[in-house]
Structure 1
Amino acid sequence: MKNYLTASISASAIRHNVGVLRKHVGDGVELCLVVKDDCYGHGMNVLYPLLAELVDGFAVASPVEALELRQKGYHGFVLCFLSAYFDDFEVQDELVWQEITQTVMSKSALASIQEAARRVGKTAPVHLKVDTGMGRMGIPAKQAPDLIEAIRACPDVRLTGIYTHFATADEQDRSEVFEQLTLFKSILPPDGNLVCHAANSAAIIDFPETHFNMVRPGLAVYGCHPSEFLSNDIGLKPCMSVKAKLIAVKHVREGSHCGYGLSHTFDRDSRVGIVPIGYGDGYFRCLSGKAIVRVNGQDAPVCGRVSMDQMTVDVTDIPDVQVGDDVEIISSDSSAPNSVENLARLAGTIPYEITCHLGHNIIRHVLVD
């Protein structure tokens, strides 16, 4: 186990982020935190006690994630995006027994949940997902009213909510958001008794008209901006820093090479440090020769290709560097060259992918600060 490779999660930063999100959405709007993929790579096991006291519910991708929350002792609202339509009866029954709110997107899914509810002897709560333009999961909006009637006709199933998902809330051209929103509003039942939700982190920040009575923040709770195209800055604080230790320091001569393919050539006599992290730990190979880490608080460029579990950094201009010195891989300062957002830009990807790929070798812990 690489106990020299750690991720520190700031409890105060998460509390701050939840606070600014609550202030931004206002009273009467619940926060259902999306915690799929191990809290977007931040670590559900270490964060659960903190998050459970801060939010109004959780949303997860799979039945496994939903049931794990119950195993942790959480008794509140849990929404499962992908329910157990094709799993064995035991999983279906357990979701109903544990009062997990399942997603319905078709009459066949409704029938599966209804059968489980009859076997268990409990009423199953469900939310209807409507595809308003994402083109992914969800019943087409035109078919939604018919499915709503079918759900309400089932004595063993209770419709408690309805939701959709925006395709372009984090894009530069977000005009489609308003088209999706208009379509979603057009199929909402007139009785107003349902939980309605549509807003992800980007929509929460930039589109107040999408908030309804519940929102689904994800990356924003961890302090990362979901897009570089956001119009508003609500003052999020990144919560995570990732650090390692130098495991070797060596001198190399001018003209020497390093890394697979000998892709880097030193143009002067140099000192290099070896850092025990690589693409096997989620540090992308495409960051080779582009990214910067910080050694003893000073910038050290990544030189040569990132390997599976090691990479080389140039520490020539950092005095007194030695084995065991701290290396900041990811900074909790959003303006730093090694912030999640800046690493995403260098890698040509999104912040979500940077955090979600952080591997199991990175030991996560919460800073009670």
Structure 2
Amino acid sequence: MKNYLTASISASAVRHNIAMLRGLIDPNVKLCPVVKDDCYGHGMDVLYPVLAERVDGFAVASPTEALELRQRGYDGFILCFLSAYFDDYDIQDELVRQGITQTVMSKSALASIQAAAERAGGTAPVHLKVDTGMGRLGVPARQAMDMVATIQEVPGVELTGIYTHFAAAEEADKTVTIEQLELFKTAWPVGGNVIHHAANSAAIIDLPETHFEMVRPGLAVYGCHPSDQLRNQIELKPCMSVMAKLIAVKHVQKGSRCGYGLTHEYARDSRVGIVPIGYGDGYFRNLSNKAVVRINGQDAPVCGRVSMDQMTVDVTGIPEVQVGDKVEVISPDPQAP
């Protein structure tokens, strides 16, 4: 672990974001945040206790993530987006025993879930995913009602929900999203105790008609606006900040170049600092020659290509900078560049 590179997560920011999202939905609508991939990289260990007392369930990608939530003591609703038929039988069976709601997106997935329910001696709750235009996983909308009928005839499996996922809800032009919404409505069964859900972060903010009985915020939980055009509609607080320390400061002459490919040329005699972070730490290489960091309250542009574990920044305009100074790599300030 690099002791000169620190990520901090603000629990108060997450609480604020949850409250803002709650304010946009009806009190009867369930809030089920997406916490896949370790809470989008923010850390389940840190955020689980913050979220568990404020939400109505969790949505995860994999069976392993779902079972880990149970191991943490969470006994509420958990929706697993990916079916478990590629996993070992013991995982499939444990999902049934633990009451994890699984996703049906094909007949093969349904057969796998039914077999696990039979082995485990229980009933498996499932939600049907309908592909209304995202073009990824899910039953085509035109086949959804037939699949609903099939699920309802299968012993050991209970259909408790139907959902879809929007492809362009964050865009100003809502044409595609409204088309998806109308197509989704054609897949609804009549009657039964079935919930419907479709709204991601953008739809929660901008399309109240998509809220139905449950919403699934992702990025917004962690303080990220789905798009620039939605920034003025909700106040979100980024919950992550990343700090580093300068490990070197040096002078370079006008005309000097730096980094792999020598893609940056200094237009003046300059002072540069070396920051120990790179694409190996998740700092995207495509930020080369584009991003800035903040040192002593002032912006310092990234110069040259981002390397695997370090990058160069121009500190000419920060005269008193020195080795060991803190470098704000990711800011919790939503107005920061």
Q: Same fold (TM over 0.5)?
A: yes
Query: How far does the alpha carbon of each residue in 1:160-190 deviate from its partner, in whole angstroms, 9 at most, with x for none?
Result: 1111111111234320111111121222122
Partner of 2:118: 118
> Which secondary structure does the structure 2 equivalent of 1:12 belong to?
helix
Q: Is the 8 A contact 2:246 2:325 kept in 1?
A: yes
Q: Does 1:37 align with 2:37?
A: yes
Shift of 1:259: 1.5
Partner of 1:204: 204
Deviates more, 1:249-258 or 1:219-228: 249-258
Partner of 2:177: 177
Q: Does 1:56 align with 2:56?
A: yes
Residue 243 to residue 324, structure 1, CA distance change in 2 (3 Å): same
Separation in structure 2 between the aligned mates of residue 249 and residue 219 of structure 1, nearest angstrom: 36
Shift of 1:130: 1.0
TM-score (norm 2): 0.96
Separation in structure 2 between the aligned mates of residue 232 and residue 144 of structure 1, nearest angstrom: 37
Partner of 1:336: 336
Q: Is the 8 A contact 1:206 1:231 kept in 2?
A: no
Partner of 1:136: 136
The one-letter code matched in structure 1 to 2:242 is: V
The one-letter code matched in structure 1 to 2:197 is: H
Partner of 2:274: 274
Separation in structure 2 between the aligned mates of residue 238 and residue 277 of structure 1, nearest angstrom: 20
Identity %: 75
Partner of 1:18: 18
Partner of 2:154: 154
Q: Is the 8 A contact 1:144 1:187 kept in 2?
A: yes
Separation in structure 2 between the aligned mates of residue 97 and residue 146 of structure 1, nearest angstrom: 28
Separation in structure 2 between the aligned mates of residue 259 and residue 200 of structure 1, nearest angstrom: 40
> Which secondary structure does the structure 2 equivalent of 1:119 belong to?
helix
Partner of 1:295: 295
Q: Is the 8 A contact 1:205 1:232 kept in 2?
A: no
> Which secondary structure does the structure 2 equivalent of 1:159 belong to?
strand
Shift of 1:75: 1.4
Query: How far does the alpha carbon of each residue in 1:15-48 deviate from its partner, in whole angstroms, 9 at most, with x for none?
Result: 1110010110121011111011221121222211
Partner of 1:191: 191
Deviates more, 1:239-248 or 1:40-49: 40-49
Separation in structure 2 between the aligned mates of residue 141 and residue 293 of structure 1, nearest angstrom: 46
The one-letter code matched in structure 2 to 1:181 is: L
Query: How far does the alpha carbon of each residue in 1:137-168 deviate from its partner, in whole angstroms, 9 at most, with x for none?
Result: 11112221222122222231111111111111
Separation in structure 1 between the aligned mates of residue 231 and residue 221 of structure 2, nearest angstrom: 18
Separation in structure 2 between the aligned mates of residue 190 and residue 265 of structure 1, nearest angstrom: 66
Deviates more, 1:33-42 or 1:308-317: 33-42
Q: Does 1:80 align with 2:101?
A: no
> Which secondary structure does the structure 2 equivalent of 1:160 belong to?
strand
Matches within 5 A, 1:300-319: 300-319=300-319
The one-letter code matched in structure 1 to 2:103 is: T
The one-letter code matched in structure 1 to 2:45 is: N
The one-letter code matched in structure 2 to 1:198 is: A
Separation in structure 1 between the aligned mates of residue 261 and residue 183 of structure 2, nearest angstrom: 53
Separation in structure 2 between the aligned mates of residue 331 and residue 221 of structure 1, nearest angstrom: 16
Q: Is the 8 A contact 1:181 1:210 kept in 2?
A: yes
Separation in structure 2 between the aligned mates of residue 41 and residue 79 of structure 1, nearest angstrom: 19
Shift of 1:303: 1.0
> Which secondary structure does the structure 1 equivalent of 2:32 belong to?
strand
TM-score (norm 1): 0.88
Partner of 2:242: 242
Shift of 1:80: 0.6
Q: Is the 8 A contact 1:141 1:183 kept in 2?
A: yes
Separation in structure 1 between the aligned mates of residue 70 and residue 192 of structure 2, nearest angstrom: 29
Separation in structure 2 between the aligned mates of residue 5 and residue 205 of structure 1, nearest angstrom: 34
Q: Is the 8 A contact 1:272 1:312 kept in 2?
A: yes
Shift of 1:54: 1.7
Residue 77 to residue 145, structure 1, CA distance change in 2 (3 Å): same
Q: Is the 8 A contact 1:129 1:162 kept in 2?
A: yes
Deviates more, 1:180-189 or 1:9-18: 180-189
Q: Is the 8 A contact 2:84 2:92 kept in 1?
A: yes
Shift of 1:276: 0.4
> Which secondary structure does the structure 1 equivalent of 2:47 belong to?
helix
Separation in structure 2 between the aligned mates of residue 330 and residue 79 of structure 1, nearest angstrom: 31
Q: Does 1:168 align with 2:187?
A: no
Separation in structure 2 between the aligned mates of residue 193 and residue 46 of structure 1, nearest angstrom: 35
Greater relative CO, 1 or 2 (CA 8 Å, sep 6+): 1
Q: Is the 8 A contact 2:225 2:231 kept in 1?
A: no
